[in-house]
Structure 1
Amino acid sequence: MSAGPPTRPRKLAVFGGGLGSLSAVFALTELPGWRERFDITVYQIGWRLGGKARSGRNLRAHARNEALGHHVWYGWYDNAFALARRVYAETRRAPGAPLATFKEAFKPCDHLLLGTGDRTDRTPPWKMSLPRGDSLPGDGAAQPSVWHFAQTLLLWAIDCIPRLHPQYATWSAIVPRWPDASRSLWPALMRRAGGQGVRAYDGFDPQRPDYDDLLRRAAAAVHGEDAPKTSRQRRAWAQPLTHCGEHSLRSLVGLGARQTHPQFTTMVDLALATVRGILHDGLDRAGFSAIDDQDLRAWLRRHGASEEALASTVLVALYADHMSYESGDAERPAAAAGALLRAALRRYLAFSGALYYIPAAGLGEVLFAPLYRLLRDRGVHFRFFHKLKHLCPDPKQPAVSAAVVGRQIELAPGVEEYEPLIKVKGLPCWPSRPLYSQIVLGDDPVIQAIDFEANESPEVEEVVLRAGVDFDDIILGIPPPALAGAARELAARDPRWEALLEHTHSIAAMGAQLWLSPTWAQLLGGPAQAGAGGIVRTELPRWVNLSTAAAYEGWPREHWPGAIASLSGPRPDRSADGSREPVRDIAETWLKSHPRALWPEASLAGADEFNWELLLDPQGRAAEHRLAAQHCWATQNASDRQIVTLPGDPRHRLAAGDSGFRNLWLAGDWVGGGLDLACAEGAVMAGLQAARAVSGDAIVIHGERDCIDSD
């Protein structure tokens, strides 16, 4: 914690208005007496907040919401949802106002639909359904330990295995199918467990085995008086069951189980490999980060996962969901094993309420507009159209002595402060373009052609903010891909910054937001149950049903959309000749190739070609030209690139409170010491860590560390 001047509040300059830095500001302004302690100013490039999660209303296209990215919030995002719920509790919109409550703003979903664009794969899409709980994300439910995850997976696998083949529905039928050597080894593992004080296998007679009774007793033992209590006992209890599960699965696969139950066979396969890996590598005592130098699929393979499971839709979709690819190339998946495994286990085994939630409109109006208004009302200052150009380290001490900022615009006469929000149907929203009436020469086509969210955008003035005068501390919420220039002197001073900039990998993203005339149910030919999912092995493998947003857009009755879809995926780095296929062409190819994979009723009668007339186009264009009326996008700016966590990357990341410069604090999903994975929860967690480091207060961060055994 750095010490500011005692006679006034510490001045905090916050650079970047993404979820990480805004979470830090929110947490600081939650502290008792914060106004006496801090004077906070947020400097934001361009005209809106939200970072990579921002969205805006296109006032030239019926105020429709246009966004970048894949905005699905999973039920395990406890810190992110706690933030959102507190924002809604404090803003207290009037009853009947649009999106007045948290429950109106975030729609729960219990089903994921996972399919493939591979036409040779005849396996139908898998609807993964998980039962909803009574709690809500943000309640602060206890975080399961690494051991609890392993135990849950193991017991689930043991429960599932007798259901994988109709002719082998009991353990007494399955175990005799094992190789003799494997069956002979099993009693030795049980005796070893008994030697560690595990009573679950007592009384087993290899000469007259009752395998079904044995497995029932072993599974029930974790809940009884004789439940294993130490780490050593728990591992000893698990080894015979893991051995049983692995050899039973292999036997049943050889008998055709994968053809009978392809998805569940794959899930059992992956579950058992995960359990074996946790036990073998001691993750129940070391935590998931211990395997971050390995790729997740390589780690699963090393612990016995089959090649069929490693190529399965569910695992490929996990990589696609986080766009975990080298250089954006889907043919080169790579992810730090611990970071991605932690996220996967929390996603499916530690969610609160529903499996995931979809914003009822764009995140701009669902989260960032109310958060902005709340922070402004609390007394936080915002300076839009201010871009960070350079951080200057003090030559005599490890501190930042100055920050060079480019002011991008002059405000129009009579405008004292830029007012960024508009209202659409009574809902405060961010526009997709600046409000030019507040800007000098705002009606000039040259000004309107400028991308004010790009680092390369012009500026009207360079401003130098000086330590001790304009700021005492800095919270940096700008990701490393956009810091190559601004942080170059930090990297020259501190080798850790050089490593951070070099080893923070990122990729561009792209997508298409589609407005269609039929409802989602009509496109499916049945009820719309899943709100999101994946169609792997396609250029745009992630999809979300955003149809609820139509009610908050400004469409006339004759052009009212029945469905809104978001498709997105990685944008590969440029080819050797520097060229890139236009996103609209990619979307056209996707719709021509995979319409039935998402919407069975979206094809022309008697053909497998997409019915282009389904796309909403007020101008009435024909065929694929109707894509011109949709929102096809690609991230162009360095700050918008998706951070990916490749094997080995986490060791180069800096913690929120360990920048190496005593008045510089870090916030964002690129910060180390938390999830080490790009997602909303990771950004909020890092923001809370920054607030804790700045303030010195004991700010509680749910799930910040893996729960591990210490004995």
Structure 2
Amino acid sequence: MRRKRIAILGGGVGAITAAFELTSQNDWQTRYEITLYQMGHRLGGKGASGRNALHQQRIEEHGLHIWLGFYENAFRAMRACYEELNRPKTAPLATIDQAFKPHSFITLQEDLGDRFATWNIDFATDGSVPGVGGYGPTPIDFVVRILEILIEVISGTNLELIYQSSAHKGERSLLGRALEQAGVAFGKNALRFASRSTFVQALLDLVRETATVPEHLRAKLLSPVSTALDHLVQRVFEDFERSLVSDDDLRRAIILLDLGRVVIRGILRDRLIVRGFSAINDEDFTDWLARHGALSITLRSAVVRAWYDLVFGYPEGDTNRPGRCEAGTTLAAMMRMALTYKGAIFWEMQAGMGDTIFGPYYEVLSRRGVRFEFFHKVENLGLSPDQRYVDTIDVAVQATLKPGLSRYEPLVDVKGLPCWPSHPLYDQLEQGEELRARGVDLESSWSDWEPVARKSLKRGVDFDEVILGISLGALPYVAPELIAARKEWRDMVEHVKTVQTLAMQLWLRPDREGLGWTYPRTVMTAYADPYNTWADMTHLVERECWPNDHYPFSLAYFCGPMPDAEPIPPFSDHGFPERERERIIRMAEEWLNLYTGHLWPYATGGGSSTRLDYDHLVDPSGGVGAERLRAQFFRANIDPTERYVLSVPGSSKFRLHPGRSGFENLFLAGDWTQCGINAGCVEGATISGLLCAESLSGRRVLIEGNYDLERVFSPSAEAEVTETEEIAAAG
């Protein structure tokens, strides 16, 4: 039997995961021939990074990339990759445990109008690791875990005193009355909780009791707890409203308490235990919180805003308007992020994302026999006359190898670690010197570089099946025939939105304390726009090649949404990328002038200055003043393939499943597909790649967490549905 020829278009997480999963099947080489077509010189998509040989082999990223502790599928695949890679024990990043390190210290910035207040959260850690062991919480598990956390919040503050005060004996009895409701179904056993010595102890014991009852009855037991929390929050807010601005601890406790009780209330009243989180996706998350009675301080809080910043959730990059994120998608992802992580909430890569992820994947896939065609830019997918198949793939050949070379070798050695360079390895290319001299960016749609050749790959000759791993923003340019042929494609590109992002990396001479940051190394968000997110990435400096007299003791990554240009010009406007880069540098100058002082008070000019003193920036070329800022790294992610995929309200239902493209030989891979998470992240792209491989191969693939919401969150019996609906509706 002839092997199927698979053409993979694009080299991001989804496409690479699909390739890795297909080639993990023992008999894959008897079934498939796999070729991956990639524009430019490197894999990675929005996760591509490079080493700049002209600047101390510094790591240059598309933005800030940190893996989360709930990325079960991504970590499982990565662990398998590193095990097969089998680097020498003395090599850098020899194992996945060396490639990722846990990080638990997080900072939010509360905007109080006249000032920012720093809110540090040190998340709990344990000895577990993501990607190992079982997984699969249900919505009711989330409710229980939220209650446990809220109880911890209450017990850690003076809120407990409210229910021990004689002035509030009447309010304290609310708990008893609420608990009596549970006794209707569970008998007088439930009433024993009302006799506990403290409000906290009663709640905690009641929550723990839910572990012993069937899932469909747990909602009934938890509803009175939700009622008790409603009364608690209302009473506390009324008593302490005037103190909320000045008392940081009290304000934050009330915000967390209110957010938790509103989420519980919403899950129960909207019957999400039965209907699934997608049932509320036509609403924005903040609007959903408001509908269920969230306090105004909660709606404006850094905790809520942090999610919108995390996912760049501002259509058109406009942070002057409220962010827009699907309620169900947001709720499910936030709870997985905060409540189900393993080991730590964040796991940081110990080199660039390209070095840590796509280098190992490339090496392993190459050894397995996957063929890589770099410098091949997909220009168009053509359909068969009956519109059932992708019949042709038009490709622009951007550069060719010098005589005697059989394949492009894309990696360079930096301190013993195979890395992707920031620029092509020109010495391997026929056109290398011209590309170098002109500074051509082969990854830019606005480049004035003309292809050296064009190919039209044909079905039945060059490929049989196609995996489309090119991101959503580029589909109108590479797949217009598909969009014209299928309404579901037109709906997807119309309703699933994307946004530009910007990034800034600063290498600074002072260490963290020397800058004036008095807390541990952190990942921070919810700060001033547009560079609203900062991570201290100083641990990466040792992977770079800095001389002693210009050694940076701090490395700061900033990122955020980037407002769209008005209008975005055609690709024939070759000067557009440089204008956009200049725009984000000007934005950085303004931002650093206004907002440095709050983060790094010792890095300003002294006194009441808020402006960054550029002399603190590392610049081995000896620049002066603003020249030192321009010597840092800035990136405007403006290309169609680089635009971050959003989850605006009502959009997920228009995403296409990786195995249901509407064309018989086309499969999809990327975080823009219907993958359950439906938010821009590595785990979503990984799940999409796994679903893609499963659909193409016809073989069941293990997907931890079971993100198919219809399968996960459907109850096992119709009787349970009916009773749970009645309980929740009465709640």
Query: In 2 relative to 1, CA 226–522 (structure 1 residues): closer, same or farther, beyond 3 Å?
Result: closer
Once the two structures are TM-superposed, the CA of residue 575 in structure 1 deviates from its matched residue by 4.2
Match of 1:73 in 2: 67
Deviation at 1:177, TM superposition (A): 5.7
- Could you tell me which residue of structure 2 aligns to residue 569 of structure 1? 560
Equivalent residue in structure 2 for 1:143, among 121, 136, 140: 136
> Is 1:705 matched up with 2:708?
yes
**How much does 1:200 deviate?**
5.1
Distance in structure 1 (CA, Å) of the matches to 2:115 and 2:187: 45
Offset at 1:213? 6.0
1:189 deviates by 5.0
In the alignment, which residue of structure 1 is the partner of 2:676? 674
> Which letter does structure 1 place at the counterpart of 2:122?
S
Aligned to 1:396, what secondary structure does the other structure show? coil
Note the C-alpha offset of 1:594: 1.4
Deviation, 1:448, is 3.7
TM superposition shift of 1:478: 0.6
Select which of 54, 58, 65 maps to 1:64.
58
Matched, 1:134 2:110: no
| Aligned match for 2:686, one of 666, 672, 684 | 684
Tell me the secondary structure at the aligned position of residue 590 of structure 1.
Answer: helix
In the superposition, relative to structure 1, how do residues 454 and 113 fare at CA in structure 2: closer, same or farther (>3 Å)?
same
Q: How does 1:51-450 map to 2 (within 5 A)?
A: 51-116=45-110, 120-121=114-115, 123=117, 125-161=118-154, 163-165=156-158, 168-170=161-163, 176=169, 178=171, 189-197=178-186, 201-202=190-191, 210=195, 212=197, 216-217=201-202, 219-224=204-209, 227-231=212-216, 233-256=217-240, 258=244, 259=247, 260-332=249-321, 333-396=323-386, 398-444=388-434, 448-450=438-440
**Counterpart of 2:531?**
540
Residue correspondence of structure 1 range 512-527 to structure 2 within 5 A: 512-524=504-516, 526=518
User: How far does residue 192 in structure 1 lie from its aligned partner after superposition?
Assistant: 4.2
C-alpha separation in 2, matches of 1:350 and 1:82: 16
**Structure 1 contact 199–226 (Cα < 8 Å) conserved:** no
Residue 359 of structure 1 contacts residue 366 of structure 1 at CA under 8 Å; is this kept in 2?
Answer: yes
Residue in structure 1 matching 2:464, options 448, 451, 472: 472
2:163–2:199 Cα contact (<8 Å) kept? no
Q: CA deviation at 1:391?
A: 1.1
Match of 2:572? Answer: none
Separation (CA, whole Å) in 1 of partners of 2:33 and 2:168: 69
How much does 1:623 deviate?
A: 2.5
Gaps of 5+ in 1: 1-6
* Structure 2 CA distance for partners of 1:390 and 1:137, relative to 1, 3 Å: same
Equivalent residue, structure 1, for 2:21: 27
Deviation for aligned residue 1:529: 2.2
Residues 112 and 129, structure 1, Cα contact 8 Å, conserved in 2:
yes
SS in 1 for 2:602: coil
SS of residue in 2 equivalent to 1:335: coil
**Equivalent residue letter for 2:213:** P
Helix, strand or coil at the partner of 1:245 = helix
Aligned pair in 2 of structure 1 residues 289, 118: CA closer, same or farther (>3 Å)?
same
- Distance in 2, Cα, partners of 1:213 & 1:81: 42
Check conservation: 1:198, 1:236, Cα contact below 8 A.
no
Q: Give, in angstroms, the shift of residue 98 of structure 1.
A: 1.6
Give the Cα separation in 2 of the matches to 1:405 and 1:509: 27
> Shift of residue 82 of structure 1?
1.3
Deviation at 1:434, TM superposition (A): 0.9
Instruction: Provide the C-alpha distance between the structure 2 equivalents of 1:136 and 1:98, rounded to a whole number of angstroms.
Output: 20
Q: 1:334 to 1:173 in 2, by over 3 A?
A: farther
Question: Residue deviations 1:581-639, cap 9 Å, x none?
Answer: 71111111222111133223322332323222110011222233310110011012110
| Corresponding residue number in structure 1 for 2:576 | none
How far has the Cα of 1:48 moved from its partner?
0.2
> What residue identity is the alignment partner of 2:29?
R
Offset of residue 301 of structure 1: 0.7
Query: Whole-Å Cα distance in 2 between the matches of residues 321 and 144 of structure 1?
Result: 23
Q: Deviation of residue 78 (structure 1)?
A: 1.1
Structure 1, residues 20-62: CA drift from partner, whole Å, max 9, x if none? Answer: 1000101111111111111110000111000001100111111
Aligned partner of 2:588 in structure 1 is 587
Q: 1:506 aligns with which of 498, 501, 504?
A: 498
SS at match of 1:357: strand
Q: Report the CA distance shift for 1:140/1:482 in structure 2 as closer, same or farther (over 3 A).
A: farther
1:627 corresponds to 2:629: yes
Structure 1: how far apart are the matches of 2:568 and 2:687? 40
Structure having the larger proportion of residues in helix:
2
- After superposition, the Cα gap between the structure-2 partners of 1:200 and 1:474, relative to the gap in structure 1 and judged at 3 Å, is farther
Q: Which runs of 5+ in 2 are unaligned?
A: 570-578, 721-731
Corresponding residue of 2:544: 553
Partner residue of 2:44?
Answer: 50
The answer as to whether partners of 1:9 and 1:38 remain within 8 angstroms in 2 is yes
1:414-460 deviation digits (Å, cap 9, x = unpaired)? 22211111111121111111111122232126874322112455312
**Alpha-carbon offset, residue 413 of structure 1:** 2.2
**Aligned residue for 2:11?**
17
Q: Is the 8 A contact 2:517 2:599 kept in 1?
A: no
Q: Output one character per residue of 1:541-563: Cα deviation in whole Å (capped at 9) or x when no partner.
A: 11112212211212222111111
Once the two structures are TM-superposed, the CA of residue 504 in structure 1 deviates from its matched residue by 1.9
Deviation, structure 1 residue 685: 0.8
Moved more, 436-445 or 555-564: 436-445
**How many angstroms apart in 2 are the aligned matches of 1:508 and 1:149?**
33
Counterpart of 2:603 in 1: which secondary structure?
A: coil
Contact 2:110/2:116 (8 A) holds in 1: no
CA 1:561–1:15: 2 relative to 1, 3 Å: same
Q: Secondary structure at the match of 1:388?
A: strand
- Structure 1 SS opposite 2:478: coil
Distance in 2 (CA, whole Å) between partners of 1:28 and 1:102 is: 21
Normalised by the length of structure 2, the TM-score is: 0.90
CA contact (8 A) 1:116 1:597 kept: no
Deviations 1:250-290 (A, max 9, x none): 11122227435221211111000000000001111222111
- Between stretches 663-672 and 498-507, larger displacement belongs to 498-507
Residue 423 to residue 164, structure 1, CA distance change in 2 (3 Å): same
What residue number does 2:648 align with? 646
List per-residue Cα deviations over 1:166-216 (Å, max 9, x = no partner). 6825356585364xxx967x7665454333336553368xxxx74746763
Cα pair 2:426 2:436 within 8 Å, conserved: no
Distance in 2 separating the partners of 1:591 and 1:282: 46
Correspondence for 2:724: none
CA contact (8 A) 2:392 2:456 kept: yes
SS at match of 1:515: strand
Q: Which residue of 2 aligns with 1:4?
A: none
Mean Cα deviation higher: 377-386 or 602-611: 602-611
Q: Which moved more, 1:55-64 or 1:269-278?
A: 55-64
- Relative to structure 2, which stretch is displaced further, 409-418 or 553-562? 409-418
Return closer, same or farther for 1:203/1:106 CA change in 2, 3 Å cut-off.
Answer: closer
Identity of aligned residues (%): 34
Give 1:606's aligned amino acid: G
Which residue number corresponds to residue 481 of structure 2? 489
Please give the secondary structure, in 2, of the residue aligned with 1:434: coil
